[in-house]
Amino acid sequence: MTHSTSVHPTTVASQHPYVLQRAFNTFDAEVVDRLYEADALFVPRPGRPTTGPGRIPAHRDFLALRVPIRVTPRHTYVAGDLALLIVDWVVEGRAAHGGQVRIAGTATDVARRGPDGFWRYVVDNPFGTTEDPEQTGRPTEVGPTDAAAGPTSPDGTGQSAIGR
């Protein structure tokens, strides 16, 4: 599957999930990451947030499957320059390794409209309220040295979706 790598942010908050879908389906981590603020937080696995340069390898883990994503936005709530996006999504099909994959979730995301008028992620939490199987009961805090652990199944097994 070949897609254009020229994906541009949107000025309409409710369209932001669809822009992410187009970017994801290029299978290019840098294209995806252009839809994030520089210090934005991405949670590739429940309880495992990453920021800054750690987002690129985390995106690459998802994109390595080479299976497109489909999004179905549920709600978009806008307050000034902030938006809460609740989005159902699924990555389903035959992966690059030849096996069938299905990873799905309901994202709880926050986007901000920048000075240029375009929306970008501040928080991208694709698995929403899914709990970390290794959760200690404490809130998770992220700092600039945290690294992505890669995608996992939302079924609580803690096993990476890649290679299944």
Give the domain CATH number at 32.
3.10.450.50
Residues of the domain holding 67: 11-123
Is residue 157 domain-resident?
A: no
Closest CA to 133 of 116, 148, 118, 154: 154
For residue range 4-22, list pLDDT tens digits in order. Answer: 458 999 999 999 999 999 9
Q: What local confidence, expressed as pLDDT, does residue 135 receive?
A: 53
Is residue 156 domain-resident?
A: no
Number of other CB atoms surrounding residue 159 within 10 Å: 12
Is the pLDDT at 131 greater than 90, yes or no?
Answer: no
Percentage, residues of the chain above pLDDT 70: 77
Asked whether 57 and 39 are in contact (CB, 8 A), the reply is no
Is residue 82 domain-resident?
A: yes
Domain count, the chain: 1
For residue range 35-51, list pLDDT tens digits in order. Answer: 999 999 999 999 899 99
For residue range 61-81, list pLDDT tens digits in order. Answer: 889 999 999 999 999 999 999
pLDDT band at 31 (very low <50, low <70, confident <90, very high): very high
Complete edge-to-edge strand list for the sheet that includes strand 36-45: 48-51, 36-45, 119-125, 100-113, 82-94, 69-79
Asked whether 21 and 124 are in contact (CB, 8 A), the reply is no
Is residue 45 domain-resident?
A: yes
